[in-house]
Amino acid sequence: MTASLVRRARSARRTTVPAWLSHPLGWHSGPIPRAAVVRGALGAGPLLALGVLTGHLGPAVLAGLGAMLAGVNDRPGTRRTGVVHLGLPAVAGAFGLLCGGLLADTGGRWAAVPALFVVGWLSGALSVAGPVWSAAATQLLVTASIGAGMPLAGPAWLKASCYLGGAAWLLLLRFLLRAPGLRRGARWDGEREAVAAVFDALADALRAVGGPDAGAARRRLTAAQQRADESVRLMRLLSRPAGARGGGPAAVHRIVTRFGAATALCEAGIALLWEGRPLPREVAEGPRRLAAAVRADAAPGALPSPASDTVQRGAFDRALLDAAVAFDRTEPEGRPLPYGIATTRPRAPRAVPRRPGRVFAPARRENGLRVALCVAVSAAVALSLHQTHWYWLPATAAFLVKPDLGPLFSRVVNRVAGTAAGVLVFTLVTAVATGLGGPWWLIGVVVTGGALIPVATRHFGFQTAVVTLLVLSFLYAAGDTEATAARLLDTGLACAIVLLVGHLPHLTDPRVRVGHRFAVALRCTERYLRHVLDTPSDGGAPSTPRASHGAGTPAPPRGGDATGIALRHAAYRALAEARAAAETAAAELPGPHRTHRHDWAAVAARAERIVEAATVCAVRVEQGVPLPSAAEAREVTRALAATADALEEGRPPAAAALPPVPSRCRSLRDVVTHLHGIQALTTAA
């Protein structure tokens, strides 16, 4: 019987398709973003039509390019988040086009190679800062290549202005065209929907406790919290005083208050998820009714009765009661809000502690050098082979090589396939439409391609095909009718260069790239846990002396104040980025470090449990569970810092740096147990 099971397991392992081979076929599902589709159709197409009517096709092409690349970043969210998600990359792209244009006007052709090396290093290093900065860094590098090599007439500042104008046009459409289902004239419906999504995600996670989908539901809850946190922060930053249609300070106050209630309830809900016991179905009804109340901007009505049989369940019931009270508060000022709801938001903490040389951390150096070498080599090869259009190779390398955008082999395969599909479609359309006369058929192609971009972002191959179709249309409109055939050859050459240079042994160690992400998550967790336990950092002093807490006396609650909330959000945000990096590393083509491949998925699971245990520690302290001893708290936080340092440097944590498992505090015991698990996983590899 046992031998049969072993043979069956070995057979299953043999028939499993490797992740690096199956990843190119992956497809992200979800509802069609209809508002984004309409914005895409109205983006670059009308700009190109305006250029045809006025006879200024060069500026229209650059404006259409800006609108197209802004459409790639046009993701779901409120209109105010769109200012950041579209605006920051657009400004970076305009700056890159300006620098590239100045280089083309004043420097020789070969001056582009060292210049793109510098811009590539900056782009790769900036990518570590987060997804929005990564998008900005990508546009900076791509437009610098285009500006240096694309033969368009006009001064560099005018090219940059046209590009920025195209992106601003799409951003204006985002403000004018509201998503379906939002009420006309309501200013804050996007923010209400983001807060309601947090309550819904919490209800789904509570339903999944103890089941196989618990982990995925928990990650969806974290993502919903991050989106709502960003939306509410921008709402408070960009909102104006009263009197505007759709609500004034009272409406803003209600949304902020209800998001505070969602934050406190999620913290208590995470404690239930950590406990892992299946819950009665009515437990999820409370958050579900709160979600409906947020959408209707009304009171939630009767909520489920409490059943506080454990400390964690007691914390959840208390948070639910506080949420019910908070939903009745509509005035901007007056009585204090229930505990755990922040009325003011402090400056967000840094995700990485201030340390000398952090700008030149190993992950930044690796990312920057990898991108810089690939782009510079591509530019040198292109200048050696081409008299014109050499910018296509470095621009293609820029889209491919950045490790935060996905596995390199998968992107290369999809880039080749997508470019071939885009070239084929454009060739067929050109053959059919050239007899019609005039450039108006190009506008139809651009309108169709712009409408497809929001859907195409679900698969890199599909997105490449649509972008290739649009870029070839822009070049054709600008008078370059011979660009189609060479694009496929150039793309294949750029992919070969990226595979060769990007997989050099000293540029591809995932222990540095992925380890950095987990190091950031553990450092954020360390800071949160120090705040909860009132433990000083090395060489520092606690903000409240621990001696003031008598033996066995609960400490004043600290995990749910505004600073604690910000620290916990930073930890979960860093953890989500670490898991994404781990999934990318698992799908990479086996390279020179295949003998040192860690099981990053297992490390991610351990790190998730550590962050959850830190949150549970805060919940238990707030519920009156006695604090652990000061020495025990210091040992645990130092162990978190030591593990983060080891992962940052690409080495396993030293066993001597990890303390023995605490005997008193359940949540700290869980932290140390999983730190030992990370040490074992990284040492075994």
Element (H, E) at 79: helix 79-106
pLDDT at 11 over 60: no
pLDDT at 129 over 50: yes
**What pLDDT score does 67 carry?**
92
pLDDT at 334 over 50: no
CB 130 within 8 A of CB 145: no
Two tokens, residue 590: 């086996």
In order of 555, 628, 629, the CA distances from 551 in angstroms are 10, 10, 10
**What pLDDT score does 63 carry?**
92
Count of alpha carbons within 13 angstroms of residue 677, beta-carbon side: 18
Mean pLDDT of 438-446: 84
- Which of 494, 499, 516, 497 is closest to 367 using CA atoms? 516
**What pLDDT score does 348 carry?**
37
What are the DSSP calls for 303-334, one per residue?
A: -PPP---SHHHHHHHHHHHHHHHHHT---SSS
CA distance 41 to 449: 8
pLDDT at 549 over 50: no
**What pLDDT score does 542 carry?**
41
Question: pLDDT category, 684, cuts 50, 70, 90?
Answer: low
> Which carries the bigger pLDDT value, residue 536 or residue 42?
42
Count CB atoms within 10 A of the CB of residue 313. Answer: 19
Displacement of CA 679 from its chain's centroid (Å):
27
- Which of 538, 508, 518, 504 is closest to 652 using CA atoms? 518
- Which of 521, 509, 577, 523 is closest to 366 using CA atoms? 509
Helix axes 285-296, 189-208, angle to 10 degrees: 170
Two tokens, residue 300: 């939630």
Q: What is the pLDDT of residues 241-271, one digit of tens each?
A: 444 444 456 777 888 888 888 888 888 888 8
Which residues, 6 or more positions from 397, have their beta carbon under 8 angstroms from its beta carbon? 374, 375, 377, 378, 494, 497, 498
CB 619 within 8 A of CB 271: yes
Mean pLDDT of 3-21: 51
Q: What is the mean pLDDT of the chain?
A: 78
Lowest mean pLDDT among 227-231, 236-240, 431-435: 236-240
**What pLDDT score does 89 carry?**
92
- Which of 270, 224, 254 is closest to 326 using CA atoms? 254
pLDDT at 232 over 50: yes
| Eight-state DSSP code of residue 658 | S
CA distance 74 to 229: 19
E strand segments, 167-206: none
**What pLDDT score does 523 carry?**
92
Q: What is the pLDDT of residues 15-29, one digit of tens each?
A: 466 666 776 677 777
Q: What is the pLDDT of residues 280-301, one digit of tens each?
A: 888 888 899 898 888 888 888 7
CA distance 265 to 315: 9
**What pLDDT score does 555 carry?**
41
**What pLDDT score does 573 carry?**
86
**What pLDDT score does 361 carry?**
60
CA distance 483 to 7: 56
- Which of 527, 523, 609 is closest to 567 using CA atoms? 527
Helix axes 57-72, 34-41, angle to 10 degrees: 170
As a whole-number percent, the residues of the chain with pLDDT over 70 amount to 79
Q: What is the pLDDT of residues 65-100, one digit of tens each?
A: 999 999 888 887 777 788 888 889 999 999 999 999
Mean pLDDT of 479-493: 78
**What pLDDT score does 647 carry?**
85
Winning range, highest mean pLDDT, from 274-278, 303-307, 616-620: 616-620
What sections of 239-277 are H helices per DSSP?
Answer: 249-275
CB 175 within 8 A of CB 238: no
CA distance 499 to 492: 11
pLDDT at 180 over 70: no
Two tokens, residue 181: 């289902």
**What pLDDT score does 298 carry?**
83
| Eight-state DSSP code of residue 596 | G
Total residue length of the chain: 685
| Eight-state DSSP code of residue 121 | H
pLDDT at 601 over 50: yes
> Which carries the bigger pLDDT value, residue 565 or residue 30?
565
CA distance 520 to 507: 21
Q: Is 185 left (phi over 0), alpha (psi -120 to 50) or beta?
A: left
SS3 466: helix
Two tokens, residue 486: 């060479």
Displacement of CA 36 from its chain's centroid (Å):
19
Predicted model pTM: 0.77
Winning range, highest mean pLDDT, from 153-157, 181-185, 415-419: 415-419
Lowest mean pLDDT among 276-285, 338-347, 534-543, 661-670: 338-347
Lowest mean pLDDT among 25-29, 126-130, 197-201, 221-225: 25-29
Question: pLDDT category, 591, cuts 50, 70, 90?
Answer: low
